[in-house]
Amino acid sequence: MRTNQPQTVYLSEYRVPAYLVDHVDLRFELFEEGARVHSTLAVRRNPESADTSGRLELDGDSLVLEGLQLDGRDLEPGQYENQGDRLVIPEVPEQFGLTVVTWIEPQNNTRLEGLYKSSGMFCTQCEAEGFRCITFFPDRPDVMARFRTRIEADRAGYPVLLSNGNDVERGELEGGRHFVTWEDPFPKPCYLFALVAGDLVEKRDSFRTCTGREIDLRMYVEPRNADKCDHAMDSLKRSMRWDEAIYGREYDLDIFMIVAVDDFNMGAMENKGLNIFNSSCVLASQDTATDATFQRIEAIVAHEYFHNWSGNRVTCRDWFQLSLKEGFTVFRDSQFSADMGSTTVKRIEDVTLLRTAQFAEDGGPMAHPVRPSFYMEISNFYTLTIYEKGAEVVRMIHTLLGPDLFRKGSDLYFERHDGQAVTTDDFVKAMEDASGRDLTRFRRWYEQAGTPVVTVRDEYDEARQVYRLDIRQTVPDTPGQTGKQPQHIPFALGLLGTDGQPLALKLVGDDALPAEQRVLELTEASHSFEFEGVAARPVPSLLRDFSAPVRVDYPWTREQLLFLMSHDPDGFNRWDAGQRLAVDVIESLVDAGEDAEIEPRLVSAYRHLLTDEGLDQALVAKMLQLPSEAYLIELAAAPRVQQIYRARTRVMDHLAAALREELLACYHRNNGGAEYRLTSDDIARRTLRNTALGWLLQIGDAEGRELALRQYHDADNMTDRLGALRALVNSDYHEDREQVLDAFYQRWQDDPQVVELWFSVQSGSTRGNLEQVRALMEHAAFDWKNPNKVRSVIGVFAGQNLAAFHAEDGSGYRFLAEQVRHLDASNPQIAARLATPLTRWRKFASVHGEQMKAALETIRDREGLSRDVYEVVHKSLAG
């Protein structure tokens, strides 16, 4: 734990490493009281380094140093300095072997960084800087070494011993112990190191690559989860096939392993040949996982697998380049998910996350560029900006280059940089070189934080039959960054004629063949585009498919939005028009007071969605979701949360009451019956059915209640069971709610993933209050040491139950601050993430903002604050 003020790390201070490590020989002796780690490094001076001092510095964290030898000779106390977080040897030769012996206590490691124990098994998490909690090492991604790892443990307790690469030797030891040795032929940074030891069952499968190599696929899980591996295994094979077909990337090792662990700070980790997953992101059966979970698992398995090329074969030079691997890999996994299901639905989901949460981050105190230039604690920079905005930036390159040149660029990137640790600039350069396009101005997307605002105004000249768009862009100031330059924005659009048909677009003075959609390239602060041959004022369909991560400002009328909702050939924009209309209606209630009339055309638009079976039902299921409170808050300049909550609820009540018959018909039309399948059609049907049920219970409909109870009892899958439970929990049928919640818990209490769902349905329910959330934390199934439980109770409360979190008396804020202070002592990474909602205090005017700030100050004043929480709290209180 930190004792003095944390240091800031700057990109401008990057220097190549003074020493390189070619080979690492590790020996782990695992015991119940701790673990001894013997590490022998083959070190040599880096010829590229200007540092000729002869001084070797290794990183360390919470280590007990038991031995230190240079070329086989013990170092005397005067020949080295153990500074705790650093081991310094002032004078080393050009090339040498260094042996370090450390003692660590995985069983007491609650931070879940480095080597720790989860449900009786040993496992590791080394990204970003966890390897230094295992042994002293140059813990930076540009030091790449070949690893050989021998694991020794009690055979009965730990029959399975895993590390990266291939198993090359195994045998028995004295005292009922055994060992396995693993060798990874690919040099890698230490953040990709992994070790697992436990009593696990093995599920095997295989995959034949495009060149005919047979890859051994293995999953390791606790015996009780043996029947929950199929979906992840199938997802893995689909990912491997897809990466060959779309990116020409073949898997390189002979074995690929996946391990599920219950206690994990994040979703999953791409360790070379040995991916480790949070159980809730990999295990699934029809009985225990919802459709959403199945889809998330497919995406995460793909994401981690894709890292084998975008991350492992080509890795990051330093952690400022994190988006090099994360932005690109998220882009790849979204393309994959789009190909596996509905492209439009996937785009809607990605954009919803981006606009709700990443835009909020980009407008808050932690705003940072996709390639940051400084940080205190790198764990805090695994953000939506790095991941989601980073993916959008790659997606824009794809849009600008087109699929063929993009593929040429990615081939060049992988070929040119295979085995290297590189920068986001190297990525852009490869795209430029392969395509011949100039991306100089485009690079600003990596350097400037903040969400650009694109303002569009239009004018129709009937005499000339010309329609003109005036488009301006501005990039807002963010903490520490002002006076920004225009960015290179691909702006896709179409125009619709009065009959609802798309117009052929012909720009004045442009020879390109007329097309129904164009990607305009905005590179300056302002542009004018004139379209000729336009017979009547058209309706513009702007930023189709969300072609850039920007806010569009255009004075939409409700007529235009209704028109686009039913006519836009771009499915994404049809959905977006519906969202804009709903936002406009809700906002007008916030402004005009709760008794104001609700736009009648909203009801007819929703009626149309509910009744026209000719519409794409997956899209309809999305269109029926009202914009979330979080999104409405994000859009508001000075959000009044209680008013927003009441206005949104009133619109929902109004729609549900007016459309009761249609909702019932929709429910029955989509009533399951058939066997559970994971096709987009079936998922859409279940979503529609559960949405209809939720709306009916929202207004306390008695028939809806009967349907929910029946669905709960008859369900043969978790999607339907949880849909019914959620509808009841969010209703005023208190007795049913309590009864069904009890029954659910009794039935599923032994399954941690289902208990997480049970927790989050309650903590996220707007009918629940803070007392109920506190009661959940007293529940036997709650466990402070398990990040999933903390997230599903406290995180879901603060992130989704916004009316309660923003309670007028400030109790929600004080509650969250209390939990952050408590958790910081055991798990700083999770504590820092949990604190995020409070950091947005400036956005909330008057009392609320002050209450949030006061809560943050109570965190700031905690004795022995971690670096993780320190950075978040100080940045949000600063200025």
Which residues are annotated as catalytic?
Answer: 304
- List 20, 300, 693, 798, residue binding ligand 7MF (CB under 6 A): 300
Beta-bridge mates of residue 40: 25, 99
Q: Rounded CA gap, 846 and 174, in Å?
A: 69
Taking the least distance from each CB to ligand 7MF, the nearer of 30 and 820 is 820
* 266 is an interface residue for ligand 7MF by CB under 6 A: yes
Interface with ligand 7MF, residue 303, by CB under 6 A: yes
Angstrom CA distances, 358 to 81, 352, 354, 390, 834, stand at 43, 9, 5, 11, 16
**Closest approach of ligand 7MF to the CB of residue 265, in Å:** 7
Structure tokens at 579: 């969202």
Question: What is the closest distance, in whole angstroms, from the C-beta atom of residue 303 to ligand 7MF in the complex?
Answer: 4
> What angle in degrees, to the nearest 10, is found between the helix axes of 811-824 and 846-860?
20
Hey, what are 503's tokens? 């117009």
Binding-site member from 127, 139, 432, 458 for ligand 7MF (CB under 6 A): 127
Residue 331 contact partner, candidates Zn ion, ligand 7MF, none, CB within 5 to 8 A by sort of partner: none
Cβ proximity to ligand 7MF: between 181 and 424 the closer is: 424
Q: Which two tokens stand for residue 415?
A: 């070929």
DSSP conformation letters of 228-240: G-HHHHHHHHHHH
377 binds ligand 7MF (CB under 6 A): no
Alpha carbons within 13 angstroms on the beta-carbon side of residue 626 total: 27
Does 387 participate in binding ligand 7MF (rule CB under 6 A)?
Answer: yes
Q: How far apart are CA 691 and CA 626, in angstroms?
A: 11
Nearest approach, Cβ of residue 388 and ligand 7MF (Å): 9
- Rule CB under 6 A: is residue 350 a binding residue for ligand 7MF? no
Compute the least distance from the CB of residue 594 to ligand 7MF, in Å: 39
Query: From CA 148, how far away is CA 164, in angstroms rounded?
Result: 9
* Nearer Cβ to ligand 7MF (311/363): 311
Question: Between residues 306 and 359, which has the closer beta carbon with respect to Zn ion?
Answer: 306
Residue 334 C-beta: closest distance to ligand 7MF, Å = 9
Max Cα–Cα distance, the chain, nearest Å: 95
Task: Give yes or no for a contact between 676 and 716, defined as CB atoms under 8 angstroms apart.
Answer: yes
Which is closer to Zn ion, CB of 275 or CB of 763?
A: 275
Footprint on residues 320-339 left by ligand 7MF (CB under 6 A): 326, 330
CA–CA distance, 532 with 467 (Å, rounded to integer): 7
Question: Reduced to 3 states, what is the DSSP secondary structure of residue 699?
Answer: coil
Q: Tell me the closest approach of the beta carbon of residue 302 to Zn ion, in angstroms.
A: 11
Q: How many residues bind ligand 7MF (CB under 6 A)?
A: 14
Query: Closest separation between CB of residue 258 and Zn ion, Å?
Result: 15
Query: In the structure encoding, which two tokens stand for residue 572, read together?
Result: 């994404």
Nearer to ligand 7MF, 381 or 467 (CB): 381
Is residue 269 close enough to count as binding ligand 7MF by CB under 6 A? Answer: yes
- The answer to whether residue 868 forms part of the interface with ligand 7MF (CB under 6 A) is no
The tokens of 418 are what?
């295979």
Give the binding range for ligand 7MF (CB under 6 A) out of 49-57, 220-228, 297-305, 669-677: 297-305
Radius of gyration of the chain, Cα coordinates, nearest whole angstrom: 28
| Rounded least distance, CB 379 to ligand 7MF, Å | 8
Listed in order, strand segments (DSSP E) in 105-241 are 114-118, 121-125, 145-154, 160-163, 166-172, 177-188, 195-198, 201-208, 214-221
Q: Are 744 and 725 contacting, i.e. CB atoms less than 8 angstroms apart? A: yes
Return the range that interacts with ligand 7MF (CB under 6 A); candidates 132-140, 233-241, 302-310, 424-432. 302-310
Identity of the residue, 321 or 670, whose beta carbon is nearer to Zn ion in the bound complex: 321
Which of 295, 717 has the CB closer to Zn ion? 295
**Of 243 and 326, which CB lies nearer to Zn ion in the complex structure?**
326
Binding residues for Zn ion, rule CB under 5 A, total: 2
DSSP for 556-581, written as a single string: --HHHHHHHHHH-S-HHHHHHHHHHH
Coil, helix or strand at residue 21: strand
168 — alpha (psi -120 to 50), left (phi > 0) or beta?
alpha
Report d(CA 703, CA 661) in Å as an integer: 11
Choose, by CB under 6 A, the member of 54, 159, 267, 569 that binds ligand 7MF: 267
Q: How many Cα atoms within 13 Å fall on the side-chain side of residue 401? A: 26
Q: Does 193 bind ligand 7MF (CB under 6 A)?
A: no
Interface segment toward ligand 7MF; rule CB under 6 A; list 263-271, 540-548, 566-574, 588-596: 263-271
Determine how many CB atoms are found less than 10 A away from the CB of residue 506.
18
Nearer to ligand 7MF, 142 or 152 (CB): 142
Q: How far apart are CA 615 and CA 600, in angstroms?
A: 22
Q: How far is the CB of 835 from ligand 7MF (least distance, A)?
A: 15
556 forms beta bridges with none
Range 301-330, binding Zn ion (CB under 5 A)? 326, 329
Q: In the complex, what is the shortest distance from the CB of residue 366 to ligand 7MF, in angstroms, rounded to a whole number?
A: 15
- Residue 365: strand, helix, or coil: coil
Position with the least CB separation from ligand 7MF: 382
Residue 266 binding target from ligand 7MF, Zn ion, none, CB below 5 to 8 Å by type: ligand 7MF
Q: Which is nearer to ligand 7MF, 235 or 762 (CB)?
A: 235
29, 61, 304, 634: residue in contact with ligand 7MF (rule CB under 6 A): 304
Q: Does the protein bind ligand 7MF through residue 268 (CB under 6 A)?
A: yes
Nearer to ligand 7MF, 279 or 448 (CB): 279
Quote the least distance from Cβ 414 to Zn ion, whole Å. 17
Do 431 and 350 meet the contact criterion of CB atoms below 8 Å apart?
Answer: no
Q: Assess 113 for contact with ligand 7MF (CB under 6 A).
A: no
Phi, psi angle pair for 15, to nearest 5°: -130, 145
Indicate whether 192 belongs to the interface with ligand 7MF (CB under 6 A): no
Distance of CA 668 to the CA centre of its chain: 35
Range list of H helices, 354-504: 359-362, 384, 390-417, 424-435, 444-447
267 binds, among ligand 7MF, Zn ion, none (CB under 5 to 8 A by kind): ligand 7MF
Does residue 865 sit in helix, strand or coil?
coil
Strand partners, 466: 461
By a kind-dependent CB cut-off of 5 to 8 A, residue 127 interacts, out of ligand 7MF, Zn ion, none, with ligand 7MF
Alpha helix locations (H) across 612-640?
A: 617-623, 629-635
Taking contact as CB under 6 A, which single stretch among the options 300-308, 663-671, 675-683, 869-877 is the one that binds ligand 7MF? 300-308
Rounded to the nearest whole angstrom, what is the least distance from the CB of residue 375 to ligand 7MF in the complex? 14
CB 85 within 8 A of CB 91: no
How many C-beta neighbours within 10 Å does residue 73 have? 10
The binding site for Zn ion (CB under 5 A) comprises: 326, 329
The binding site for ligand 7MF (CB under 6 A) comprises: 127, 266-270, 300, 303-304, 307, 326, 330, 382, 387
